[in-house]
Structures are given as structure tokens and as C-alpha cells.
Chains A and B, each alone.
Chain A
């Protein structure tokens, strides 16, 4: 068996190389990518009701790309992400629907967060995080990019930076 050592070395080397080429295990692929985004409708947080109505969500025939951001007031990365989302919402609000989903949170804490960062994009309240599970979320923050026809194009687990957000918006904006 040892006579064939170059073959063994090559095989082991190939295995290591293949292992290195595999996608980053921290980059969590969503099974939803390429599939229709699950529909839902949830009550909006109180400050958004006068402008957007009682409830909001994802439904077929929305005819607008959606940036679905799952967040919670206790989540530290959400605090750095919120001002960035607000800035881009101001820029894209006519072309892309920014929709926040507040999960696993207390409503009053969520409201304080919204006030603190002056968030004007609508957020719905999902205290138990059920919609999060519908979307197969791992934690907060997590962002789903949904195109005009309601198909999930990308999922971003963790905090978004400016370059990533721009790239996602480029992917779906009309």
C-alpha cells in the first residue's frame, strides 16, 4: 500500500483543497433563495399606523422589491445597522419597500428603539418571532432581499454594511 504514497499524498492534498474551497460555513445559505417569499400580514408598530395602516406584510402582487429586515431592540448589531437602513430608506423609499420585523421583543422596548433612531421605514411587531421561523431565521439582525415578483433573491445573516446594502439594492431595484 505504501508503494503508492504519491497517490495517497495527492488524494489527501485534494481532499484538503476541496475542503478549503467549500463555502464559508458561517455564510448561512437560505433554502428560500429562488423561492417565493412566505406571505404574512402583521400589526404595525403604533407610530407607523397613521401613514401605513393597521397591518403590513408580504403578499403576492406587491409589485415592488422588498428589503425585509428582522430586528430586535436588545440586539447590538441592530443598533449600528438601524441608521444605515434609515439613510437608504430615505433614498430608495419610492422604489424599494423597506419593512422591519421586530421579533422576540417587548413592544415598548421596540417603540423606544424606533424613537431613538428616528426610524421612518415601517416595522411590524412579531413578539414571538413566528414570521422569523417562517423565513428560517437564525438570529437578529437578518435581512431578506425580495424582488419585484416576490422571489427571495438573497438572505443576509448579521449586520449589513453600506457596500453590502448597496449591492443588494442594486440586485432588485427597478
Chain B
């Protein structure tokens, strides 16, 4: 009987624990999905979804209000971009200087491939040049040597 009480108590205790990382019930998960893509202006490295700073709370409230008004995700993001610039977005659009940031890994990879290809080509050319430089009699001597060692002399 005591065991049953203990188990029931344990069950209630487990149920009373907050489920981690779930949004509070008053705001829909969609609000947090959008807020996750926006910076919290007063925080270092935190999105408007994670921060509890007053400004981030208000941003989430604005998002919720605009969703209720039937605005799309893009429209809501544009609302913040019009006030803060592209800086507010965690994934800045690929244009201007940002385009270079997006392209630089590809550019780096291209340069690496080009460098490797050039290196390979040089090694191959060097090998061919060396092979061409060996005199006929040297080749004949080496072949004879090989034949001799193959015959077990």
C-alpha cells in the first residue's frame, strides 16, 4: 500500500515538472518559430525566441498579434527588417556584401580544387619529362638487369 502511495506521489511529481523548451501556453509555437529567426536586439547571441529581455518578450507579442491579423511569416519578418535592417535576421539575405559571405566557401573550394589540379598536372609533367630524359642505353641496361634478377642470377 505504502509502495502504491509512493508510486502515485512520484507520478504526480513527474507530471508537475515543466516540459523543457516548450513555449508558454499563451503563445503559439509558430510565434517562437518566427522569433527564432530574429535577433534579440539587446542580447549577445540570443534569438528573440530564447531571450527573456523585455524587448524580446514584446517582439514575441508583436509576432503573435500580427499572426492573429493574418500576416504571413515573410510580412512579419519584413516588419522587423524595416525597423532594424537586415541585421535583425539570423540568416541575412544573399545580396551585396552578404552575397560574398555566402559565396566564399564555394569560392574557397573552387580555389582548392584548382590548386590541387595544377599541382597534379605539374607532378605528372615532371614525371613524363624525367622519363623522356633517360637515355636509350640506360633503359636497355636496366631492362637487362631486371631480366637477370627475374631469372634468379
Return the contact of B62 from the options A133, A137, A139 (Cβ within 8 A). A133
Interface membership of A57, Cβ < 8 A: no
Pair B42/A139 contact, Cβ less than 8 Å: yes
Q: Report A's interface with B, CB cutoff 8 A.
A: 1, 29, 31-32, 103-104, 128-130, 132-139
Pair B41/A139 contact, Cβ less than 8 Å: yes
Pair A133/B115 contact, Cβ less than 8 Å: no
Q: Report B's interface with A, CB cutoff 8 A.
A: 41-42, 54-55, 58-59, 61-62, 82-85, 115, 118
The verdict on A136 contacting B115 (CB below 8 Å), with A128-B58, A129-B54, A130-B58 known, is no
The verdict on A31 contacting B118 (CB below 8 Å), with A130-B58, A137-B41 known, is no
Return the contact of A129 from the options B58, B82, B83, B115 (Cβ within 8 A). B58
Chain A residue with minimal CB distance to B41?
Answer: A138
Pair B115/A132 contact, Cβ less than 8 Å: no
The complex places the Cα of A31 from the Cα of B85 at a distance, in Å, of: 6
Seed contacts A134-B83, A137-B41; 5 additional CB < 8 Å A-B pairs: A31-B82, A31-B85, A133-B83, A136-B41, A138-B42
Chain A residue with minimal CB distance to B119?
Answer: A1
Chain B residue with minimal CB distance to A105?
Answer: B54
Pull 28 A–B residue pairs with CB atoms less than 8 Å apart, ordered by A: A1-B115, A1-B118, A29-B85, A31-B82, A31-B84, A31-B85, A32-B83, A103-B54, A104-B54, A104-B58, A128-B54, A129-B58, A130-B58, A130-B62, A133-B55, A133-B58, A133-B59, A133-B83, A134-B83, A135-B83, A136-B41, A136-B84, A137-B41, A138-B41, A138-B42, A139-B41, A139-B42, A139-B55
The complex places the Cα of A29 from the Cα of B85 at a distance, in Å, of: 9
Pair A129/B55 contact, Cβ less than 8 Å: yes
B55 to chain A, nearest CB (A): 6
| B contacts with A: majority SS | helix
Residues in A with CB closer than 8 Å to B118 are 1
Chain A residue with minimal CB distance to B114?
Answer: A1
Pair A128/B61 contact, Cβ less than 8 Å: yes
Residues in B with CB closer than 8 Å to A128 are 54, 58, 61
Residues in A with CB closer than 8 Å to B61 are 128
Residues in A with CB closer than 8 Å to B54 are 103-104, 128-129
Residues in B with CB closer than 8 Å to A138 are 41-42
A137 to chain B, nearest CB (A): 7
Residues in A with CB closer than 8 Å to B42 are 138-139
Residues in B with CB closer than 8 Å to A139 are 41-42, 55
Residues in B with CB closer than 8 Å to A103 are 54
The complex places the Cα of A1 from the Cα of B115 at a distance, in Å, of: 8
The verdict on A31 contacting B83 (CB below 8 Å), with A130-B58, A132-B55, A133-B58 known, is yes
B68 to chain A, nearest CB (A): 16
Residues in A with CB closer than 8 Å to B85 are 29, 31, 136
The complex places the Cα of A32 from the Cα of B84 at a distance, in Å, of: 8
